[in-house]
DNA sequence: CTGTTAGCGCTTTCAT
DNA sequence: ATGAAAGCGCTAACAG
C-alpha cells in the first residue's frame, strides 16, 4: 500500500531514451521534434500512464489552464443549464472549470475582496451575478479577464439577452390576443430588484404604452411564493386582469397554483405568461418567453477561450435571441373578441 | 496596459522586512512566528493585495487543494442539488471544486482512460456515475481517493440511500391505502438499467410479494417520454392498475401528462407515486419518495475532506434516510375501501 | 523565533 | 533536431 509514486517527466525521458526537454516538446506538440522520436516519447508516456502536472507547467508558463465560473447559487435550474453550456466549450479549449457558489450580493462582496482567484485562474466567467458598477470594478482587480454571462457589463466582454425587447414581445403577444388588462408581476428580494427584473418590466411598460393600455405592475417576493401572493392580490383587484405576465416561470407557477386553487380556468379566464422556459414550463404547458440559457453559457465560454488566445475584443458584446414559446396557458380573452383576431376562437378547446 | 505584475512572496517579505520563509509561515498560519511579525506580514500582504500562487505551493507540498467532481450531466435537477451540497463543504475545507461533465457511460470510459485528473486533484467525488466493477477499478488508478456520491461502491468511501427499502416503503404506502393492482414503471436507456432503477424495482417487488399482490412491471425509455409511453400501455392493459409507482418523478410527470390528457382523474381513478422529490414534484402536487440529494452531496464532500485529513476510513459508508412526501396524487382507490382504512375518504376533496 | 538553502516538476533559452 | 542548464514561486528542512 506504499504510495505508488506517479511517474515524472524524467521517467518518460529515461524510458524513451531522450532528454527532458524533448519529452516536454513532444508531449505538448511543440515543433522541433522528429516524428520518430515523438512517437517513441508518446509510447513511453502511455506505457507509464504518465500525466503532466499542471501545477509544474503553470509555474513556468504563468497560465493555469483553469477558469473560474462564479455563480450566486447552484441549485436553480438556470445555473445547471448555464454550466452545461459552459463545460464542454471550456473543455474543448483545454481548460478546466472551477465552480464557485458565492451566494447573495453580500457574500459576493466578501468573496471578491479576498481575490482568491488572483493568480489561480486564467479567466473568470461571472454568471448572472447582477453586479453594480462598483462590484464590476472590483472584479476587474482580479487581474484576469472576466466574462459576464447573462449580464451586460459596459466595456467588458459579456453575453446576454435583450430583456426589454423580450418582455415587450411577450406583452404584445398578450395584447394581440385581445387582452387589455394585462398585469405584470415583478419580484424583489431583500437586496432589491435584479437588473433582469427591471428591464423586463420596462419592456412590458413600453409595449403597454405603445398599445395605449393601462399598465398594472404588482411587486412581491421572488419565486413561487411571491407569484402566489401577487396573484392573490390581483384576484382581489377592482377589475382583475385577463392576462398576467410573470417576470419568470417560477413566479408564474406560484400564480398558477393560486389560479387553480381558486378554480379560475387558465387560459379561459386568465391567460398566464412566463419568462425563461425552464423545464417545468413544458410540463405545465406554460406559454413563456424562452431565453437560451445553455447557449448563453456556451457563448460565454467560447468568448473566454478566444480572449485567452488573444483573438477576441476586450469588450465584445454578444446579444442572444429570445423566443416566444406558445403553449396552452395563453389565449384570447373570454369575453371580448381579440383586437386583431376576428373570431373568439378558444385556442385550447373545451376544458 | 502593461501587465500589472502581481506581487510575489518576496515582495511581501521585502515590505515586511522579514525573510521569505517567515512570510510563508505567517501567511499559512504555521506555528513559530511571533504575533508581532505575523501581524506585520499580514499587513504587508494586504497592502499589496498579495495572494499566494497555489501552483507554486502545490508543487512543493504535493497537495493541489482541488477536488474534482465528476458528473454525467450538469443539466438535470439532481446535479445542481448535489453540487449545491458539495460546494460549501469543500470550501469550508479550503478546497476548490473542479467540475467535469463526462456524459454517458461510454464517454466516461474514455475520460477515465486518459486519467487527466491524475496528479492534478487531491480527490474526486463521483456523483451518480452508475459504474460497474471494472469502471470502479479504473477510477482507482487515478491515484487519489475517490468518493462515491449517490452510488454504493464496495470497499470504497460512498454516500447513498437505500433504494430497495425506499421503494418498498413507497409501495407499501400504496398497498396500505388499499391498492392491489400497483404497477411499477422502470426505465432503461441504450446503456441498460441504472443501479437505482434496479434496486427500486427490487424494493417494489419485495413489498408486493410481502403483501401477496401480483406485481406488474412496465419498462420504457427514461424521462417523461418513457413515463408517457409506459402509462399509455398501462391504460390499455387487461385490468389497468389503480396505482402507479414511477421510478422517478420525471417518469411520473410523463405518466401524469397522459393521465390528464385522457381525463383520468388523479388520484381518484389512479394514484401516482414518484421518486426523488424534485422541484417540480411540489408544483404538481406529486406524492413521492424524497431522497436528500443536497445532503448526499454535502456528506460526500465532508467525507472527502476527512479522507484528505486522514481522519476517515478508506471504505466508510454513509446511508442517508429517504422520506415519503405525501401530496395529492395518491389516495385510497376509488372503488374499494382501503385495506387498512375504514372509510372510503377522498383525501383530495371534490375536483 | 527567524533566516538560509535546497529543491518540487516542469518549460525555456541557449548551445550543440 | 536534441540536450544542458537556469529558473518559475513557493515550502521544508536545517541552522542559528
Average pLDDT of the residues in A3-28: 89
Alpha-carbon gap, residue A171 to A247, rounded angstroms: 11
pTM of the model: 0.91
Same domain? B230 vs B173 = yes
User: Does B3 fall in a domain?
Assistant: no
How many other CB atoms are there within 10 angstroms of residue B344's CB atom? Answer: 14
Mean pLDDT of B65-84: 96
Residue of higher predicted confidence among B1 and B311: B311
Same domain, A309 and A275: no
The answer to which of A130-144, A155-169, A287-301, B169-183 has the lowest mean pLDDT is A130-144
Q: What is residue A351's predicted lDDT score, i.e. its pLDDT? A: 33
* Candidates A54, A75, A118; nearest CB to B6: A118
Q: Which residues contact B211 (CB under 8 A, 6 or more apart)?
A: B172, B175
**Residues B197 and B230 occupy one common structural domain:** yes
DSSP labels, B30-58 = -SS--HHHHHHHHHHHHHTT----HHHHH
Answer whether residue B90 shows pLDDT above 90: yes
Number of Cβ within 10 Å of residue B61's Cβ equals 12
Mean pLDDT of A212-229: 95
| Cα dihedral B105, B107, B113, B116 sign | negative
Same domain, A269 and A184: yes
Q: Are residues B117 and B230 in the same domain?
A: no
Q: How confident is the model at residue A335 (pLDDT cuts 50, 70, 90)?
A: low
Q: In this structure, what C-alpha cell is assigned to residue A169?
A: 414581445
**Rounded-to-integer distance, Cα B184 and Cα A212, Å:** 55
SS3 A67: strand
Give how far Cα B45 sits from Cα of B7, B37, B58, B90, B225, Å.
9, 12, 20, 25, 58
- Determine the pLDDT at residue A347: 36
Residues B212 and B287 in one domain: yes
Tell whether A36 is covered by a domain.
yes
Q: How confident is the model at residue A342 (pLDDT cuts 50, 70, 90)?
A: very low
Do B15 and B72 belong to one domain?
no
Q: CB distance A79–B79 less than 8 Å?
A: no
| DSSP string across B129-194 | ----HHHHHHHHTTSS-EEEESS--TTS-EEEE-HHHHHHHHHHHHHHTT---EEEEEE-BTTB--
- CB contacts, 8 Å: B253 with chain A: 283
Nearest by CB to residue B101, choosing from A84, A98, A283, is: A84
Say yes or no: A229 and A329 in one domain.
yes
**Are B226 and B335 in the same domain?**
yes
Rounded to whole angstroms, the Cα distance separating A230 from B172 reads 39
Let me know: does B63 contact B95? Beta carbons within 8 Å: no
The tens digit of pLDDT for each residue in A302-317 reads 999 999 999 999 999 9
The band of A192, judged by pLDDT with boundaries at 50, 70 and 90, is confident
Given a cut of 70, whether residue B336 has pLDDT beyond it is no
Residues A35 and A180 in one domain: no
Instruction: Return the beta strands (E) in chain B as ranges.
Output: 66-71, 96-101, 123-127, 146-149, 158-161, 182-187, 216-220, 243-246, 271-276, 287-290, 317-320, 323-325
Most distant pair of Cα atoms in chain A: their distance: 88
CATH code, domain carrying A155: 3.40.50.2300
Indicate the pLDDT class of residue A4, thresholds 50, 70 and 90.
low
Q: Is the pLDDT of residue B339 over 50?
A: no
State the average pLDDT for chain B: 90
Which residue has 407515486 as its cell numbers? B273
Interface test with B, best of A45, A48, A57, A99 (most B CBs within 10 A): A99
Give strand pairing partners of B315. none
| Cβ of B59 near strand C (distance < 7 A) | yes
Mean pLDDT of A209-236: 96
Query: What integer is the mean pLDDT of B101-122?
Result: 83
Task: Please give the Cα distance from A171 to A180 (Å, whole number).
Answer: 10
- Write out chain B residues lying below 8 Å of A145, CB-based: none
Number of alpha carbons in the 13 Å side-chain half-sphere of residue B63: 10
Is B109 contained in some domain?
A: yes
pLDDT tens string B236-277: 999 999 999 999 999 999 999 999 989 999 999 999 999 999
Inter-chain contact B51–A75, Cβ cutoff 8 Å? no
Chain B contact for A73 (CB, 8 A cutoff): yes
pLDDT tens-place string over residues B1-60 = 334 578 999 999 999 999 999 999 999 988 888 999 999 999 999 999 899 999 999 999
In a domain, B4, yes or no: no
Which nucleotide lies nearest residue B61, CA to C1'? Answer: D11
- When mean pLDDT is compared across A125-134, B54-63, B102-111, B120-129, the lowest value belongs to B102-111
Q: How many CB atoms within 10 Å of residue A122?
A: 21
User: Minimal CA–CA distance to B333: which of B201, B230, B183?
Assistant: B183
> Does B195 map to a domain?
yes
Torsion angle of C-alpha atoms A74, A80, A81, A82, degrees rounded to 10: 50
A350: pLDDT strictly greater than 50: no
Establish if A133 belongs to a structural domain: yes
What is the pLDDT confidence band of residue A54, given thresholds at 50, 70 and 90?
Answer: very high
Q: Is A96 on the interface with B (CB under 8 A)?
A: yes
CATH of the domain at B31: 1.10.260.40
Pair (B284, B329) in one structural domain: yes
Q: How many domains does chain A contain in total?
A: 3
| 3-state SS assignment for residue B336 | coil
CA distance A254 to A173: 21
Three-state SS for B244?
strand
Residue where a domain terminates, one of A46, A61, A76? A61
Residue B276 in any domain: the answer is: yes
pLDDT band at A339 (very low <50, low <70, confident <90, very high): very low
| Distance, CA of B320 to CA of A64 (rounded, Å) | 38
* d(C-alpha A142, C-alpha B189), whole Å: 45
What residue numbers bound the domain in which A33 lies? 9-61
Question: pLDDT value at position B4?
Answer: 55
B244 part of a folded domain: yes
Over pLDDT 90: what percentage of chain A? 77
Statement to judge: residues B313 and B334 lie in one domain: no
Q: Taking CB atoms and an 8 Å cutoff, what residues of chain A touch B52?
A: 119
Amino acid at each position: 500500500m506504499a504510495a505508488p509514486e506517479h511517474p515524472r517527466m524524467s521517467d518518460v525521458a529515461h524510458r524513451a531514451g531522450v532528454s527532458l526537454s524533448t519529452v516536454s516538446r513532444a508531449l505538448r506538440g511543440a515543433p522541433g521534434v522528429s516524428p520518430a522520436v515523438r512517437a517513441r516519447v508518446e509510447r513511453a508516456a502511455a506505457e507509464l500512464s504518465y500525466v503532466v502536472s499542471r501545477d509544474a507547467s503553470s509555474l513556468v508558463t504563468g497560465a493555469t489552464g483553469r477558469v473560474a465560473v462564479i455563480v450566486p447559487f447552484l441549485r436553480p435550474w438556470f445555473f445547471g443549464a448555464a454550466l452545461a453550456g459552459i463545460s464542454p466549450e471550456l473543455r474543448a479549449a483545454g481548460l478546466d472549470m472551477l465552480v464557485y457558489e458565492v451566494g447573495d450580493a453580500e457574500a459576493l462582496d466578501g468573496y471578491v475582496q479576498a481575490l482568491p482567484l488572483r493568480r489561480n485562474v486564467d479567466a473568470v466567467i461571472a454568471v448572472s451575478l447582477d453586479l453594480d458598477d462598483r462590484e464590476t470594478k472590483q472584479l476587474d482587480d482580479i487581474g484576469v479577464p472576466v466574462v459576464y454571462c447573462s449580464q451586460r457589463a459596459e466595456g467588458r466582454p459579456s453575453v446576454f439577452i435583450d430583456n426589454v425587447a423580450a418582455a415587450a414581445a411577450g406583452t404584445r403577444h398578450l395584447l394581440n390576443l385581445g387582452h387589455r388588462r394585462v398585469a405584470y408581476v415583478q419580484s424583489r428580494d431583500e437586496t432589491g430588484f435584479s437588473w433582469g427584473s427591471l428591464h423586463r418590466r420596462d419592456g412590458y411598460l413600453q409595449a403597454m404604452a405603445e398599445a395605449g393600455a393601462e399598465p398594472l405592475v404588482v411587486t412581491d417576493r421572488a419565486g413561487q411564493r411571491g407569484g402566489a401572493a401577487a396573484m392573490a392580490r390581483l384576484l382581489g383587484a377592482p377589475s382583475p386582469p385577463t392576462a398576467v405576465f410573470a417576470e419568470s416561470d417560477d413566479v408564474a407557477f406560484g400564480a398558477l397554483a393560486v389560479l387553480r386553487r381558486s378554480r379560475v380556468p387558465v387560459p379561459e379566464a386568465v391567460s398566464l405568461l412566463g419568462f425563461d422556459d425552464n423545464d417545468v414550463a413544458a410540463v405545465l404547458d406554460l406559454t413563456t418567453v424562452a431565453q437560451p440559457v445553455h447557449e448563453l453559457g456556451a457563448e460565454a465560454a467560447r468568448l473566454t477561450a478566444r480572449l485567452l488566445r488573444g483573438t477576441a475584443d476586450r469588450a465584445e458584446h454578444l446579444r442572444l435571441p429570445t423566443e416566444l414559446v406558445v403553449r396552452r396557458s395563453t389565449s384570447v380573452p373570454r369575453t371580448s373578441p381579440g383586437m386583431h383576431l376576428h373570431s373568439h376562437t378558444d385556442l385550447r378547446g373545451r376544458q
